[in-house]
Structure 1
Amino acid sequence: MHISRVDLNLFIVFEAIYTEGTVTRASQQLNLTQPAISHALNRLRSMFDDPLFVRQGNSMVSTPLARSIIEPVRQALRGLEMTLTDNGKFDPSQARKQFNLGLRDVLESTVLPPIVESITQQAPEINLAAFQVERRELASELAAGTLDVAIDMLLPLPPEIRRQQVSRDTTVVLARKDHPLIKRNLNLKQYLEAEHILASSRRKGMGLEDFELSRLGLQRRIRLRCQHYFAACRVVSQSDLLLTMPEAYARIVNQQFTNQILALPLTMPSWDVYLYWHQNLDSDPANCWLREQIMQAFG
């Protein structure tokens, strides 16, 4: 079929359904009625002679054909969007768009508030969506355009993924107020005598501080392994366990607790956080604007 006979708006609907997973959310994203979305989907199904999406419960699950064409469709739509941008300009006050951020949950509390504050003041019709993406899939998601940018630690990514350092953080130790081992400061002997919490999304493996201890031939006792720093902070406030974590996030999650924030008695590399994007978007006005907001948010 020649492209002159194809309504390109159908591919915008296709991408929205694929991303949102339901006709309802796709209609909300595109500001169209659900019957309009369903009509467009029926035309797509007829065009490709494939159902493209199959309903399972409340979700629309993509068929193998839909999964095979989504990346070319996204790249084509992004190319058209860049081509149609008025003389390479981007006006956030007029733009209607959603930016997708790849973001670890540990960074959401520090990154999102200042970004949202900046964007809501400048861009009333721009939305943000933050997703946690497997690190091994980060490069492909940025290349496919499913993510506009990502924020994470220093990662070994291919050269087509650009990066810029946005922050550097230190490591601290949290202990409850009136901890029996700690009077004013925390030394290495006290650190090793105490029992610890390791907050990690991984089921096994050492924390960064454990690697540094192992270099010195030392080992600490991990009494609890959990997934989130917030839960770990609460456990610290009600026990004699210590928690080692990045300082900036510690000062946020610890606000409702009375835990002490102490210097780590161990030399540790800094927590360097980077902003990542694909080289194809180096000069994209919208992406440049988003990266500028993120850099300002980190201050």
Structure 2
Amino acid sequence: MDTIPQRNEDELGLHHLQVFEVLLAERSLTKAARVLNLTQPALSKTLARLRLYFGDPLFVRVSLRMEPTPKALALAEPVRGILERMRALRSDHVSFDPAAAERTFSFFIIDAGVAQMLPPIINHLATAAPRVRVQAVNCDAQHIDLWLESGLVDIAVGSFPDLMQSVRRQPLWRERYAAVTRSGHPRLGPKPSLAEFVAEKHVLVTAAGTGHEHLSVERILEAAVPREHIVCRVPMFTAAAMIAKHSDAVVMLPMTLGTVLAKDMGLQLVEPPLALPNIEIALYWHDRVHREAGNQWIRSVLRKLFQRHEAAQPG
């Protein structure tokens, strides 16, 4: 009688190749573990299997980075090809039924978007796609293109003007900026003069390393506010707003988020007396998944929930 052959424990699975691809991009066990949502011991075990299979260290520690060996660099293109073919098999001619689908969509989105967009998304999924999940991931500017291309991130949301040409874009809305302070601030009202505004202590939300267009607003604030009045820098808008609530500090943040937080946290909205640019908030996805049914569906959900008429363009 024919029997199913036992699995050879020496063989590699696609998971091992994905770990290799992420390590090649991140050059760090800690960062790769975060990207893959693995514990570091589990990642180290997978790397040990890869080293044994290929008979090579593949990655060696140099200072604080894991640098690829010549063997790893030679494997990069073949491994990428295998993963690309498997992703194509998954997406080509496969329908997507949101009511029955079990899938997690990964978004790269800064915390302003998390606070503003994820509650409506979760509420929509609860009825339209009850077994679909979403997760927000952290990334930096140099990796957004790679993560979109590899499928580690399905969609990026924000303002990223420098992404490569193979990344598609769909505008959602144009964002203005506002400042917030605690309610009953002793000196600042809702429409201060420039002198009054810059005389206060400020908390800056920094976008350094994210590639987000908020960096242009950050630079204008740095130029206008005396250095000694910038008392704190944080990477998250919501954390900055919390600091404003419990101090006399002023925080600049997107108007859409500021309006929500002012209501939820009892903050005062302040019109900044500065010439600040409006920034375009958009969806970004890679050409590779442009026709993939699941990606098309989640993009349609995001457009339905968040696209304002003046930003609509073919996508």
TM-score bracket, shorter-length normalisation: 0.7 to 0.9
The question of whether the paired residues in 1 share the 8 Å contact of 2:189 and 2:270 is answered with no
Partner of 1:99 in structure 2? 105
- For structure 2, list consecutive stretches of 5 or more residues without a partner in the other structure: 1-6, 21-35, 60-65, 210-214, 308-315
Partner of 1:225 in structure 2? 232
Q: TM-score, normalised by structure 1?
A: 0.73
Q: Which of 24, 28, 38 is equivalent to 1:21?
A: 38
**Aligned residue-pair number:** 267
- Across the aligned residues of Structure 1 and Structure 2, the Cα RMSD in angstroms comes to 3.8
Partner of 1:74 in structure 2? 83
Partner of 1:108 in structure 2? 114
CA drift at 1:102: 1.4
CA distance in 2, matches of 1:229, 1:70: 39
User: Where do 1:141-290 residues align within 5 Å?
Assistant: 141-183=147-189, 185-200=191-206, 202=208, 208=217, 210-211=219-220, 214=223, 218-221=224-227, 222-227=229-234, 228-290=236-298
CA distance in 1, matches of 2:79, 2:122: 29
CA drift at 1:77: 1.9
| 2:265 counterpart SS class | coil
Tell me the alpha carbon deviations over residues 86-126 of structure 1, each in whole angstroms, 9 at most, x when there is no partner: xxx32122223222221222311112111222223222332
CA drift at 1:14: 3.7
In structure 2, relative to structure 1, the CA distance for the partners of 1:23 and 1:259 (3 Å cut) is closer
CA distance in 2, matches of 1:73, 1:15: 9
Aligned residue type for 1:191: F
CA distance in 1, matches of 2:138, 2:298: 18
CA distance in 2, matches of 1:125, 1:51: 40
CA drift at 1:252: 3.2
Partner of 2:32 in structure 1? none
CA drift at 1:71: 3.5
Aligned residue type for 2:243: V
Q: TM-score, normalised by structure 2?
A: 0.69
CA distance in 1, matches of 2:125, 2:83: 24
CA drift at 1:291: 0.7
| 1:165 counterpart SS class | strand
In structure 2, relative to structure 1, the CA distance for the partners of 1:25 and 1:45 (3 Å cut) is closer
Partner of 1:291 in structure 2? 299
CA drift at 1:47: 6.8
The question of whether the paired residues in 2 share the 8 Å contact of 1:246 and 1:271 is answered with no
| 1:81 counterpart SS class | helix
In structure 2, relative to structure 1, the CA distance for the partners of 1:161 and 1:184 (3 Å cut) is closer
The question of whether the paired residues in 1 share the 8 Å contact of 2:261 and 2:267 is answered with no
The question of whether the paired residues in 2 share the 8 Å contact of 1:103 and 1:151 is answered with yes
